[in-house]
Amino acid sequence: MPIPFNKPYFTGKESAYINQALIGGKISGDGPFTQRCHRFFCERYGFKKVLLTTSCTDALEMSALLIDTQAGDEIIMPSYTFVSTANAFVLRGAKIVFADSSKENPNIDVTLIEALITPKTKAIVVVHYAGVACDMEAIMALAAKYNLFVIEDAAQGIDSFCNGKPLGSIGHLGAFSFHDTKNIIAGEGGMLLINDDRFMARAEIIREKGTNRAQFLRGEVDKYSWVDVGSSFLPSDMIAACLLAQLEHIDDIQQKRKKLWQFYYEGLIALQEAGKIRLPQIPAYATNNAQMFYVLCANATERSALIASLKEKGIQAVFHYLSLHNSAYYSGKHDGRKLEQSDYYSNALLRLPLYYDLSNDEQQLVVKAVADFYKK
């Protein structure tokens, strides 16, 4: 039996909840399931303001609008990230200033940020890669010193923490994803956390096509109208129904994923000790939400050979981001700085299968296949 890289897990309640939404007769946005998801997040994590969105990409685009990104503004972010992190700001005319990743993990190297700040810098966007926190204390201190906004791309960061604070709730804004490849899924889906009071009212307006419809629905105004720019960023209540079914099982899902992660770690630690590969490191201020398990090969050639060797055994392992500063779209706009760590992770990082239904036998096969490759 082939072992795929990912297999979406369903708790069993999704179809009943989606059906309930249909029977309710109203499946547009901000229905009862959306409200229940919002409440779940506020109660469990103490989030101040939560808005479900159709994707993390949309939550990032909302963030770019909320901080009033203008043509010529500079936004600092890692190059080793998904295109949406950058695209959201490029759509508003901003210039992306890419920072290198840290040597410890693919997160932004905090020590490099200050030198990249200019009078045009508007925000720092951090990405908590693999759900492992960036050093948020250092980043928030820099942002305070230079009066910058901090947006957390916490697409992979659900149920993970930095010095005890949930990811996504530390910067001014936090964006999450519920795409099939994440821990908690709704097919396509996302969420924006608004942590700064200045953005609360406007976030609702931008999400509802630039209207004050949310206020109208709460009975705070007697009609709604066009009051600002905006777009349609809210998901159908069917998406929220699927999401709620997942959220009600979050502890079980997280426990299972962490167990799988730990099994890989213990099974492969000997290869790290023998100097063959590197395993993920979790800094003392961070937690591990088992979003993914990756190994770091010596270089791209070795990684390709490992991918091929695993594929022969029916195991699908996949690499991840290609540095955005080298991309077809942005390489001509990048200032030419070399970003060695970013390129290293692009070339050397390999993700192993990790999903709820991965059996122990299958996991043993993966560990053995990696070990056998390095015996040769």
Ligand X SMILES: *Cc1c(COP(=O)(O)O)cnc(C)c1O
Q: Which is nearer to ligand X, 53 or 211 (CB)?
A: 53
CA separation for the pair 55, 24 (Å, rounded):
24
Q: Report residue 53 as tokens.
A: 């969105």
Least distance to ligand X from the beta carbon of 120, Å?
24
Least distance to ligand X from the beta carbon of 150, Å?
15
Q: Which is nearer to ligand X, 6 or 272 (CB)?
A: 6
Cβ(217)–Cβ(30) below 8 Å = yes
Least distance to ligand X from the beta carbon of 135, Å?
17
| Cα–Cα distances in angstroms (integers) from residue 73 to residues 90, 120, 153, in the given order | 10, 5, 19
Q: What secondary structure, in 3-state letters, does 208-230 show?
A: ECCECHHHHHCCCCCCCCECCCC
Ramachandran area for residue 260 (φ above 0: left; ψ -120 to 50: alpha; else beta): alpha
CA separation for the pair 330, 317 (Å, rounded):
27
Cβ(75)–Cβ(95) below 8 Å = yes
CA separation for the pair 125, 52 (Å, rounded):
20
Q: Report residue 92 as tokens.
A: 């508003």
Q: Which is nearer to ligand X, 84 or 236 (CB)?
A: 84
Least distance to ligand X from the beta carbon of 29, Å?
16
Q: Which is nearer to ligand X, 84 or 342 (CB)?
A: 84
Q: Which is nearer to ligand X, 109 or 370 (CB)?
A: 109
Site residues (CB under 6 A) for ligand X? 55-57, 81-82, 84-85, 127, 153, 155-156, 177, 179, 190
Least distance to ligand X from the beta carbon of 59, Å?
8
Least distance to ligand X from the beta carbon of 189, Å?
7
Q: Which is nearer to ligand X, 184 or 245 (CB)?
A: 184
Residue among 339, 312, 341 at smallest CA distance from 325: 339
Least distance to ligand X from the beta carbon of 132, Å?
12
Q: Which is nearer to ligand X, 180 or 302 (CB)?
A: 180
Cβ atoms < 10 Å from Cβ of 92: 16
Label residue 322 exposed, middle or buried (CB < 10 Å: 0-12, 13-18, 19+).
Answer: middle
